[in-house]
A and B are shown apart, each in its own frame.
Chain A
Amino acid sequence: DESVGSMVKRLNQIGVENTEENRRLYRQLLFSADERINSCIGGVIFFHETLYQNADDGTPFVKMIKDKGIVVGIKVDKGVVPLAGTNGESTTQGLDGLSERCAQYKKDGADFAKWRCVLKISETTPSQLSILENANVLARYASICQQNGIVPIVEPEIPPDGDHDLKRCQYVTEKVLAAVYKALSDHHVYLEGTLLKPNMVTPGHACPTKYSAEEIAMATVTALRRTVPPAVTGVTFLSGGQSEEEASINLNAINTCPLGRPWALTFSYGRALQASALNAWRGQKENETAATEEFIKRAEVNGLAAQGKYEANQDGSGAASQSLFVANHAY
């Protein structure tokens, strides 16, 4: 799902006005996907608004999702705020009253939550402060969630902005994740009841060197093996501006990587699950079925990739191969 602000960008791209009704219609077409979705998608991360919206026939979206056997999650952070004295770095806010909000969301049908922190790579970043502060706020969030029966997805995203190479991203990812797990330990978070939503280890978007999916997979799995304890049950990658096809191919390579992987490695994609669907819809009611179909296709592909069973075909169909990179992406 997307926040109101993010929906603006999505709908702008297809020339659709960002009204609550249009957002509802769009979410409805995704949620009305048939039972093929049930074996590919295990959870949906809702935005606050969506948790309380209904389908045309009055069925709450929460119920539609749960009836498919899919778990309902809720994004609980309140966006990034700058860290003074740093080179454009941020932390994430949303801790105030978080416990009461979690308790309410739990009553309203959510069983997991998501909180996104952002750390960027440059000559001088991520700084010590940024790493410490973001790790700490993620640990506070996770601790509060668990006190309210909500499984926290911990998301320390390192966006691909920049021209750094694969190694630099791997180095930074390892440092960030080591700090995150130290903070989770310090805050007494029950690791077996958390999920991690990291970036894959990739070169910067503007890096001149190209890398294969296998190189990305090896760098990603190595970084995770060095930092994520086996007690963590699952790792759900963010797509971070990769095209739909790239995100699937990389996930597949990750799941066929020869290194030992004690956690499930799967997807938590926004842009990389929805781009084709949005394109097919273009806000037109008569396109709804076709749009839903695009979404199901993408979900099935990623379901296979999460098992290392996806065989990419070469058709390179338009929207699936289009980069979804947006500089300084804010959800």
Chain B
Amino acid sequence: DESVGTMGKRLQKINVENTEEHRRQFRQLLLTSDPALSNSIGGVILFHETLYQKSDTGVLFPKIIKDAGIVVGIKVDKGTAALAGTDGETTTQGLDGLGERCAQYKKDGADFAKWRCVLKISDCCPSSLSIAENANVLARYASICQQNGLVPIVEPEILTDGDHNLQRCQYATEKVLSAVYKALSDHHVYLEGTLLKPNMVTAGQACSQKYTPQEVAMATVTALRRTVSAAVPGICFLSGGQSEEEASLNLNAINQCPLPRPWKLTFSYGRALQASTLATWQGKPGNTKAAQTTFSTRAKINGLASKGEYKPSGQTDQSATQSLFSASYVY
């Protein structure tokens, strides 16, 4: 799902006005796209508004999702806030009253939550303050969630902005994840009841060198093996501006990587699941069925990729291969 602000960007691209009704229609389109959606999708991260919206037939979205055998999640952070004295780095806010909010969300049908922190790579970033502060706030969030029966998805995203190479991203990812898991330990978080949502290890978006999915996979799995303990049951990658097809190919390569992987490695994609669907829909009710087919196709592809079984047919359409990179991305 997307926040109101982000839905704005999505709808703008297809010239649709960002009204609550349009947002509702698009979400309905996705959530009712395929009765067998649960074969590919295990959980949906909703935005606050969506938790209380209904379908045309008056059914609350959480109920539709649950009836489809999918778990309902809720994004609980309140966006990034600047860290003074750093080079444009941030932490994430949202801890105030989080305990009460989680308790309410649990009553309203959510069983997991998501909180996104953002770190960036540059000559002087991520700084040790940024790493320590974001790791700490993620651990506080995770701890509060667990006190309220919500499974926390921990998301320390390292943006792809920059011209750094694959190795630099791997190095930064290892340092960040090491700090995250130390903080989770310090805050007594029950690891078996968490999920990790990291970036894949990729070169910067402006890096002149190109890498294969196998190289991306090797770097990603190596970094995770060095930092994520086996108690963590699952890792769901963010797509971070990769095109739909790239995100699927990389996930597939990750699941075929010859290194041992004691956690599930799957997807938590926003842009990379919805781009083609949005393009097909164009805001027109007449396109709903076609858009839904596009969406469930993408979901199935990623379902296969999460098992290392995706065989690209070679006929991907244009929007599937379009980069979804957007500088200094804010959800």
Query: Given A182-B178, A182-B182, A185-B178, do A226 and B229 touch, yes or no (CB 8 Å)?
Result: yes
B267 located at the interface, meaning its Cβ lies under 8 Å from any Cβ of chain A in the complex: no
- In the complex, which residues of chain B have a beta carbon less than 8 angstroms from the beta carbon of A121? none
B330 smallest CB distance to A (angstroms): 29
Name the residue in A182, A222, A260 with the highest tally of chain B Cβ atoms < 10 Å from its Cβ: A182
Indicate if the CB atoms of B181 and A260 lie closer than 8 Å.
no
Contact with A along B177-211 (1 / 0, CB 8 A): 01101100110000110000000000000000000
Query: Given A182-B178, A185-B174, do A227 and B229 touch, yes or no (CB 8 Å)?
Result: yes
In the complex, residue of chain A having the shortest beta-carbon distance to the beta carbon of B262: A262
In the complex, residue of chain B having the shortest beta-carbon distance to the beta carbon of A261: B230
B121 smallest CB distance to A (angstroms): 17
A178 located at the interface, meaning its Cβ lies under 8 Å from any Cβ of chain B in the complex: yes
- In the complex, which residues of chain A have a beta carbon less than 8 angstroms from the beta carbon of B191? 226
B175 located at the interface, meaning its Cβ lies under 8 Å from any Cβ of chain A in the complex: yes
- In the complex, which residues of chain A have a beta carbon less than 8 angstroms from the beta carbon of B222? 231
Indicate if the CB atoms of A178 and B227 lie closer than 8 Å.
no
User: Which residue of the partner chain, among B174, B185, B192, B227, contacts A174 with CB atoms under 8 Å?
Assistant: B185
- In the complex, which residues of chain A have a beta carbon less than 8 angstroms from the beta carbon of B227? 185, 229
Report the Cα distance A262→B230, complex, angstroms: 7
A113 located at the interface, meaning its Cβ lies under 8 Å from any Cβ of chain B in the complex: no
- In the complex, which residues of chain A have a beta carbon less than 8 angstroms from the beta carbon of B225? 229-231
B286 located at the interface, meaning its Cβ lies under 8 Å from any Cβ of chain A in the complex: no
B304 located at the interface, meaning its Cβ lies under 8 Å from any Cβ of chain A in the complex: no
In the complex, residue of chain B having the shortest beta-carbon distance to the beta carbon of A185: B178
- In the complex, which residues of chain B have a beta carbon less than 8 angstroms from the beta carbon of A182? 178-179, 181-182
Report the Cα distance A174→B185, complex, angstroms: 8
- In the complex, which residues of chain A have a beta carbon less than 8 angstroms from the beta carbon of B179? 182
In the complex, residue of chain A having the shortest beta-carbon distance to the beta carbon of B186: A178
Indicate if the CB atoms of A222 and B231 lie closer than 8 Å.
yes
A223 smallest CB distance to B (angstroms): 9
Name the residue in A178, A185, A225, A229 with the highest tally of chain B Cβ atoms < 10 Å from its Cβ: A229
Report the Cα distance A186→B179, complex, angstroms: 9
A191 located at the interface, meaning its Cβ lies under 8 Å from any Cβ of chain B in the complex: yes
Contact residues of A between 210 and 254, Cβ < 8 Å to B: 222, 225-231
B228 located at the interface, meaning its Cβ lies under 8 Å from any Cβ of chain A in the complex: yes
Report the Cα distance A186→B262, complex, angstroms: 24
Sample of 22 A–B contacts (CB below 8 Å)? A175-B185, A178-B181, A178-B182, A185-B174, A185-B175, A185-B227, A225-B230, A225-B231, A226-B229, A227-B185, A227-B229, A228-B229, A229-B225, A229-B226, A229-B227, A229-B228, A230-B225, A230-B228, A230-B229, A230-B260, A230-B261, A261-B230
- Nearest 10 A-B pairs (CB), nearest first? A178-B185, A185-B178, A182-B182, A231-B225, A225-B231, A231-B226, A226-B231, A262-B262, A225-B230, A230-B225
